[in-house]
A and B are shown apart, each in its own frame.
Chain A
């Protein structure tokens, strides 16, 4: 009867005991942060999503203690907080790894190789969707479209972009993460842990020197149109598949 019903996924008909509170020092620190967040909004309840990110930055996932804390700060019931915490996919509901590796398997990335990457990583890491490696380093999951289709297939690590991945590059990536080697996103800053990422999401700017400017102004795909417009790249010549022995008419016929 000591196992919480939410962990077991079934109701035993026994109400749960209230969640234990944060230790006093943690609570005092989080309260100061929470007041900062609440002050940004005309109505305190608007602070709920950032506060859930904040408690996730403390424990790596949203615990009952964290939800109780949010409820206290915003004068809501824990039921109201739970209803919100369970609606959004970025809130984790159980302990997970330092690095969340998300493989986009929405249609375009899936077709371009996301499915193959996700399969390879599941096999390589020996975990399924949402699973965490034994060393607690990597949590693998498939994610939905992350607004980077021109860089497909895309992998996100702690919500930084790793563009144009292959099964081999993604395997190297998770090996490096587990071995503690530095990895660089193609767009974004050098990785911080999942908890540190959650703090940025709560609205506290990344204080690491240089983090904002890392990886340059724009990714290469973001610039292809601009380069063409400036005449820096010669207009590409359409290679007609017909000339290469394909049967069908090309997508682009003789221009104009």
Chain B
């Protein structure tokens, strides 16, 4: 595990770096005894031997950045919590994974929930919190079941509860199931939801670090960010920094999906490219070529086959005009209609817009109307500029990032595939056959 992968080497053993996923193939990988066999809760012991402030500094020096999309340094978030303020502090783990294409936290929690729980204990020790919450989206009952059990096991073993491992740390962990709302992945909407309200984003400032849950200092971190902390403590920040780049160090989960030969989870140092991932995994499905893809879910501007060699880290993807996001690599081949894809994403944003602010609520509605017309062959050329204009009125002018996310597929698809939109207008309809895009299109034995 200490081998620093050489990105020039093309063998998967060298390019990949399973840490969180290292033992998902073992029987009952989600149970405490299996986790312990893989150095589980050893990072916690090292953390408890440090002072909380030293621990925060250590995580900061490791360079760990948020894995939920924005890439904000995790240790810095912890440092923002005012200490000695006499108020309760809270840690809230964002497990509301709902960004279209994103599918990393759910398999992680299904196969290895203790990595998250250990990370939670470490984080709470650092920020001096005695109550943490896991806000899990409700639509994943298999994961909820395992989280319930893992938390029970952790309490029974003394990793949660009172005086954890004799350190004097008391910690209550509550697993909270959401009820279906994409917006609750936005951290302030999540906090409102956790307080028993409609999930609508809050105005910032004040930021959650100052006034979060119940108006108390709160850290909101993504599942993968927190789950990565125990390994950093256990193996050392130098080990962590030896992977990835100076500004984007460490390992992460890349989720390959769509028209690829081997969809799935690939844990690798930050900075691997889509070409490398496809090369080792069999490429696109046989006989087809990559047309467009998202680096980090539908809210990150799409890429094309020109971007196969973009290093998939925060800086690399940013420099190429998109965002690393959640590393949800949704790959679509040449059978896919980009107008259909963008229309469906936009319908999603319109459905999930919480309605609080006008640009997002009204803008996403009108984008859907225009896109449906274009897809159905009823659009006119001026609709394309209107799409751009409406997206421009949402982007950066909405209350939260949902609006920016809704604008991304519009801008990027018009940038790379304007001709295809025009074809729908001049040809009075969609030139694609959706049957050719299905998973079974090239398998005659599956009747559709």
Query: Which A residues from 45 to 88 make CB contacts under 8 A with B?
Result: 45-50, 52-53, 74, 83-84, 87-88
A45 touches B196 (CB 8 A): yes
Q: Are A217 and B139 in contact (CB under 8 A)?
A: no
Q: Which residues of B contact A47 (CB under 8 A)?
A: 196
Q: B24: which of A153, A166, A226 is its contact (CB, 8 Å)?
A: A226
Bound complex: CA A236 to CA B280 (Å): 6
In contact, B287 and A255 (Cβ under 8 angstroms):
no
Question: Which residues of A, 184-218, contact B by the 8 Å Cβ criterion?
Answer: 185, 187-189, 197, 200-203, 205-206, 211-213, 215-218
CB of A144 within 8 A of CB of B182, answer yes
Which of A48, A53, A148, A224 is B262 in contact with, Cβ under 8 Å? A224
Known contacts A111-B336, A150-B255, A241-B286; decide if A40 and B446 are in contact (CB<8 Å). Answer: no
Please state if B131 and A42 are interface contacts (CB–CB under 8 Å). yes
With contact pairs A46-B196, A49-B196, A168-B447 given, residues A224 and B101 touching in the complex (Cβ less than 8 Å) = no
Note all chain A residues with C-beta closer than 8 A to B146: 212
Give min CB distance, A78 to chain B, whole Å.
14
Q: Which of B38-46, B337-345, B358-366, B377-385 is the interface stretch?
A: B337-345
B residues 10-27 in Cβ contact with A at 8 Å: 10-13, 16-18, 21-22, 24-27
Q: How far is the CB of B422 from chain A (nearest CB, A)?
A: 21
Q: Which of chain B's residues have a CB closer than 8 A to the CB of A156? A: 139
Contacts of B10 in A (CB 8 A): 235, 255-256
Within 8 A of B (CB), among A95-146: 102, 105-108, 110-113, 115-116, 120, 143-146
Chain A residues positioned under 8 Å from B21 (CB to CB)? 222-223, 225-226
Q: Contacts A152-B258, A152-B439, A238-B278 hold; do A201 and B140 have CB atoms under 8 A apart?
A: no
Q: In the complex the two chains form, is A166's CB within 8 Å of B12's CB?
A: no
The answer to whether A147 and B439 touch (CB under 8 A), given A236-B283, A238-B278, is no
Q: Across the interface, do A241 and B288 meet the contact criterion of CB distance under 8 Å?
A: yes
Task: For residue B384, give the distance in angstroms from its CB to the closest CB of chain A.
Answer: 20
- Among B102, B265, B331, B345, the most chain A Cβ lie within 10 Å of the Cβ of B265
Residues of the A chain whose Cβ atoms lie less than 8 Å from the Cβ of B438: 111-113, 116, 153
Assembly CA distance A222 to B29 (angstroms): 13
Q: Is B334 an interface residue (CB 8 A)?
A: yes
Q: Mark A17-48, 1 if CB is under 8 A from B, else 0.
A: 00000000000000000000000111101111
Which A residues touch B179, using CB under 8 A?
49, 52-53, 88-91, 201
Interface residues on A, range: 35 or more
Q: Across the interface, do A229 and B258 meet the contact criterion of CB distance under 8 Å?
A: no
Q: Which of A146, A188, A250, A256 contacts B289 (CB 8 A)?
A: A250
A111:B263 contact, CB within 8 angstroms: no
- B431: CB under 8 A from chain A? no
A90 neighbours in B (Cβ, 8 Å): 138-139, 178-180
Query: Is B194 in contact with chain A by the CB < 8 A criterion?
Result: yes
Instruction: Name the contact of B348 in the complex, choosing from A144, A148, A153, A185 (C-beta under 8 A).
Output: A144
Closest to B355 in A: A87
- Is B140 a contact of A159 with CB atoms below 8 Å? yes
Contact string against A for B residues 249-278, beta-carbon threshold 8 Å, 1 for contact and 0 otherwise: 000001111110111111110000001101
Q: Is the CB of A246 within 8 A of B289?
A: yes
List residues 360-407 of chain B with CB under 8 A from any CB of chain A: none
B197 on the interface (CB 8 Å rule)? yes
Residues in B neighbouring A231, C-beta threshold 8 A: 12-13
Q: Quote the shortest CB–CB distance from A67 to chain B (angstroms).
A: 13
Q: Is the CB of B138 within 8 A of A252?
A: no
Q: Contact check, A108 vs B195: say whether CB atoms are below 8 A apart.
A: no
Answer yes or no: B156 CB below 8 A from chain A CBs: no
Return chain A residues, CB-CB under 8 Å to B286: 239, 241, 244
Q: Are A251 and B284 in contact (CB under 8 A)?
A: yes
Contact B283 A252 (CB under 8 A): yes
* CB neighbours of A41 from chain B (8 A): 174
The residue among A111, A115, A148, A250 with the most chain B CB atoms within 10 A of its own CB is A111
Query: Across chains A and B, which 10 residue pairs bring their CB atoms closest together, nearest first?
Result: A236-B282, A225-B266, A224-B264, A48-B196, A88-B179, A89-B180, A251-B290, A188-B142, A90-B180, A45-B196
Known contacts A226-B21, A229-B16; can you find 5 more A-B pairs with CB under 8 A?
A87-B354, A149-B255, A150-B255, A223-B264, A239-B282
